[in-house]
Each structure stands twice: as C-alpha cells, then as structure tokens.
Amino acid sequence: MKLVESFSDFKAGKNIDRPTMVRVLEDVFRTLIKKKYGSDDNFDVIVNTQKGDLELWRVREIVPDGEVTDDRIQVSISEAQSIEDDYEVGEECYEQLELEDFGRRAIMAARQTLISRIMELEKDEIFKRYVDRVGDIVIGEVHQILKKEILILDDVTGNELILPKTEMIRGDFFRKGDMVRGVIRKVEMRNNNPMVIISRTDNTFLEKLLEQEVPEIEDGLITVKKIVRLPGDRAKVAVESYDDRIDPVGACVGMKGSRIHGIVRELKNENIDIVNFTNNTSLFIQRALTPAKVSKIDLDIENSRAAVYLKADQVSLAIGKGGTNIKLASRITGFEIDVYREQDEFEIDDVDLDEFADEIEEWIIDALKNIGCDTARSVLNLSKDELVRRTDLEDETIEDVLRILATELEDES
C-alpha cells in the first residue's frame, strides 16, 4: 500500500527527519486502530518512508475452535487457516490489514490528522532552522510585493522570508523575480506560524558583507569593533587588527577599493568610512570625523563632550551633508561633538557670535556653534532653510538672527 498515493500531502514532510516522520505515521495509524479495535496492543505498524510503504499487521494467538475467550488477542484455528492454511494451534497468527478495512470516513479523518501533524512539524522545523541563523546573510527571490513588506523565497530552502519596508534601504526597489540579499534579523512565531524577518538596514548586514569580502575579518585577524549607519546614506566602521603587519583599513578597502566597491553597490551607494579603532579618545574622534582634518580637540570626559576646532575649509567636511558626518562620528565615538572654526581664520569684517550675547540668547548661540558656526559671517554664509534644518531652531528665530547679524556687518562696513 503506497502512502504517497493515499496521502498526497505526505511529501509535505520532506524537511522532517525520518525517525520523527515514522513516529508521526505510527501514532496516526495506531489511533486509527484503537478506534476500530479498542486497543493497539497486538498490532504492528511498519513504515517505510523511503518507498512510502505502510504495512499494518494484526497479531493473535491461535486457539482451538470454540475456545476463543477474547477475540482481540485470540483467533480460532479455522479462521487462522483461512488466512494461511499451514497455521497450527499455539502459534501466532499474522493478519495483514488493508487501509480500506477501516472505512472511508476513518481514512479521511486519519488523512486530515496526518496532514495537520506534518504541517506542525514543518513549522517547528522552519523555526528551529532559522532561529539558529539569526545574523546570517540569506539570498532569495522576490515572490510577492505587499503594501508593508516583500515576501521572498529563500534560494536554498524555498521557505518564505519577510522583508518589511521599514528594513529596506532608501533607494531599494525590487520587482517580482529579483534576487535580494539581507540578514536574518529575527525569527518569531505569529499565530503558530514561523516568521523569518530579514533586514537590509541592520548594522549586522554591513558587518556580514564585510566578512564575506575581507578574508582577514573571517579569519579573526581583523575585528569590527563598531558600526553606525544611516542606511543608504552613510556608514562608519571602526576596525582593529591583531597583527601589526596588517593595515585593517587598507585590508577592508582593498586594492583601489576593490573590496569595498561591491558592498557600496549592494547598499545603494552608501558612503562607507573605514576608520582605525583606538582607545585614544582624541585620536578616535579625529579619525571618526574623516574626511575632515582636525586642528585641535578639547575633551570633557565627564560629560562625554568634545570641542573640535578646524580650519574654515574643513568645517563643512566635518559636519557633512545634512549633518550626517558629525552625527555618525558622535555615535561611533560616544561623544557629543561640537565643531568650531579656528579663531585665527576670521575675516577682517567678521564678528564672533559671543559678541551678540546682548541681542541673541545664549542657547541660540550654542545651537549655532554646535553646527560649526561661531562667527557672524559663518552663519550668514548658510541659507535660512539649511540653518533651520541643522539647528532645529524655529524659522522666526533664524530670521531674527540673520537680521541682527546682517545689520551688524553692514554697520561695520
């Protein structure tokens, strides 16, 4: 009797290990036997999962005719010989049962039970398989695009993966059939269904991409100490080498950028700064502000603040477009960084912001200094919109500041 013929969904258990599958099948058919015969004590269920064969055997002791006291465990000699003519009293009679003997309704019920059990096992197997792989990169094909998420079929297992729109990089655009890479962020059970959530914005994704491209990281010669990202925009990666002969930054970037270019493309041209990690806080902050060249740093260790002084042409580099560079530098070093232009860089007709303390409130001056504007002209060189965006000050406040500064410079001239 072929299980795969009678139970078409038997193949759904393809990812379930054989001993577990045999146990499930035995349980299902022993339940069927108990319902029909009251007990399964004297029955053998033999399952061959490779071929899909199932054999059900009823085993009873042969007794003389008229001496059967319990037909569940005994069979008369005449009935036994109708099964096989060379049986004798005292032997055990093996009678093979056919699935049809149980009736159509019982078979359908067993079929539903079997399918249900297999599905539960499949869910457990999927959960176990992926929960141990959190943090690993997976590749899959876009199967369905929904409003809030994309469903992806794992290229190796065929299981469904979920890429929420919130875990996609700005600039990501996928069509059905596209291949997508992401890192397994978490695995959870929702309504008894395993959900494998993948991410392209998680820091681990960048770390694993580096590990794939840089053998020294995989070999443990270079360690990724910390990663901070504004996904799709900019990232900073602090690396350290345990071998003095290896330049960790050079190894990660590769010859002419060969190693980093592939990662940048994967991350939709995310600008990746690789910096040498050091326990020297001032030096680390200096490196973190790359590509800007820092002139001097004053540290306030207790409050985790750093005052960084730069030449005029380096201030905008330190801050970066939209403040991204200084924001990531602060996050990777753990210090709040205030950028200042060096005092000796003032133009002849420029005025220090502190000179306006009577007309502009101190907290507003501090907000402007925090974005590298410590003179009147450095503020006026920026548009109103950019000042509002960088400082988070109100439009009216910025307008007042610009008016006061412009009036002063006009008077000076």
Per residue in 123-148, pLDDT (tens digit) is 888 898 899 999 999 999 999 999 99
In sequence order, the 6+-apart residues with CB closer than 8 A to the CB of 5 are 52
Q: What would the two tokens of residue 66 be? A: 């008229």
pLDDT tens for residues 324-375? Answer: 999 999 999 999 988 887 755 445 567 888 888 888 998 998 888 878 787 8
Q: Which of 177, 201, 225 is a domain's end point?
A: 201
Q: Which of 81, 109, 129 is a domain's end point?
A: 129
Structural domain contains residue 221: yes
Count of structural domains within the chain = 3
Structural domain contains residue 412: no
Is residue 116 domain-shared with residue 17, that is, in the same domain? yes
Is residue 230 domain-shared with residue 273, that is, in the same domain? yes
Is residue 14 domain-shared with residue 115, that is, in the same domain? yes
CATH number reported for the structural domain that contains residue 243 in this entry: 3.30.300.20
pLDDT tens for residues 88-121? Answer: 888 889 988 887 777 778 778 777 777 777 778 7
Is residue 183 domain-shared with residue 167, that is, in the same domain? yes
pLDDT tens for residues 365-390? Answer: 888 887 878 788 888 888 888 888 87
> Is the whole model's pTM more than 0.85, yes or no?
no
Is residue 7 domain-shared with residue 59, that is, in the same domain? yes
Structural domain contains residue 52: yes
Among all chains, which residue has been given the structure tokens 């060096």?
342
CATH number reported for the structural domain that contains residue 179 in this entry: 2.40.50.140
Is residue 91 domain-shared with residue 147, that is, in the same domain? no
The Cα–Cα gap between 199 and 57 comes to 53
Contact between 388 and 378 under an 8 Å Cβ cutoff? The reply is no
Is residue 121 domain-shared with residue 36, that is, in the same domain? yes
Is residue 23 domain-shared with residue 104, that is, in the same domain? yes
Domain ranges, residue 266: 207-277
Q: b/e string for 56-79 if b means 16 or more Cβ within 10 A?
A: bebebbbbeeeebeeeeebbbbeb
pLDDT tens for residues 53-94? Answer: 678 888 888 889 888 888 888 889 888 888 888 888 888 899
Structural domain contains residue 292: no
Q: Which of 254, 277, 300 is a domain's end point?
A: 277
Structural domain contains residue 384: no
pLDDT at 280 over 70: yes
